[in-house]
Structure 1
Amino acid sequence: MSLFIDCLLSNLGLFALTHVACWTARQLRPAPAVSGTRLFLALLSTAFAFDTALTFLVLADAGGVWRQYDPRPTFPARAAAYGLAALLAPASASFVKRRAAARQPAASRPLEIETSPYSKSTLPM
């Protein structure tokens, strides 16, 4: 269980670091709007692919003294940590985006007209 928590915390730390780096890049040069969540998911999938390749292709066939470091028994915990981090990243990003939109003052929101008082639908202008 501690391996799962350690892997999950390191993945979420990478998520936070990626968002800070993307925020810093947007502050320095606003033109390239890079999504921190998409970049994190790309990094996470690459890390998972390398972890899988090292586990089952490289270290699984290692002999001699390396046999004691066989990572195959711990792979399901690491894979679950990768999966949970991949689920938490878009969920937390959408939560933060909705919360920031709710805090935005009405004057800076785009103009919307009400199209139906019954369905409470709006149309952006």
Structure 2
Amino acid sequence: MYNFVCCLLSNLALLAAVHLVCWFIRAMRPDLTIHSERIFIGMMALAFVFDAALTFLVFAEASGPWQRYHPVSAFFARALAYVLAVVVALVLARRAARAAAQRDAGENRKDGALEIETSPYSKSTLPM
């Protein structure tokens, strides 16, 4: 449980750092479209591959003090923490995209403007 919590907290801290760096880059260069969740998912995939390689190729066969930490059983807790951090990143990215879409839709529509319903099935409107 300790491995899971520590790995999850470090992954969420890394998510916050990646998001902050991407926000600064977008503030300096608005013409760039950088998606922090994609960068974070790539980093998590790379970390997962290296973690699996170290766990199963190096520490699983190592004798001595490493066996005390049960590297193979601790790997599955870390893998679950990687997956959970990726899910959190995707959920937050989806919520941010929805909020941005609603904000853009609110800016494009004028308050008090006449709207005509064009289709009762799709609930689409045409501003006049």
TM-score tier, shorter chain, comes to: 0.7 to 0.9
Q: Which runs of 5+ in 2 are unaligned?
A: 110-115
Amino acid aligned to 1:48: F
**Superposed displacement of residue 65, structure 1:** 3.5
1:50 aligned residue: 50
The two structures, once aligned, show a CA RMSD in angstroms of 2.4
Equivalence map 1:1-125=2 (5 Å): 1-104=1-104, 106-108=106-108, 115-121=118-124
Residues 25-69 of structure 1, C-alpha deviation per residue, up to 9 Å, x if partnerless?
111122321100000000000000000000000111112343334
**Superposed displacement of residue 108, structure 1:** 4.2
Distance 1:114 1:80, change over 3 A: same
Are 1:37 and 1:93, in contact at CA under 8 Å, matched by a contact in 2? yes
Question: What secondary structure does 2:60 align onto?
Answer: helix
Are 1:59 and 1:70, in contact at CA under 8 Å, matched by a contact in 2? no
- Taking the aligned partners of 1:8 and 1:119, their CA distance within structure 2 comes to 42
Return structure 1 stretches of 4+ with deviation > 4 angstroms.
none
Amino acid aligned to 1:37: E
- Taking the aligned partners of 1:107 and 1:68, their CA distance within structure 2 comes to 60
Identity of aligned residues (%): 50
- Taking the aligned partners of 2:118 and 2:57, their CA distance within structure 1 comes to 59
- TM-score, length basis structure 2: 0.79
- TM-score, length basis structure 1: 0.81
Amino acid aligned to 1:87: V
How many residues are treated as equivalent by the alignment?
121
Q: Greater CA radius of gyration, 1 or 2?
A: 2
Are 1:22 and 1:34, in contact at CA under 8 Å, matched by a contact in 2? yes
Q: Which runs of 5+ in 1 are unaligned?
A: none
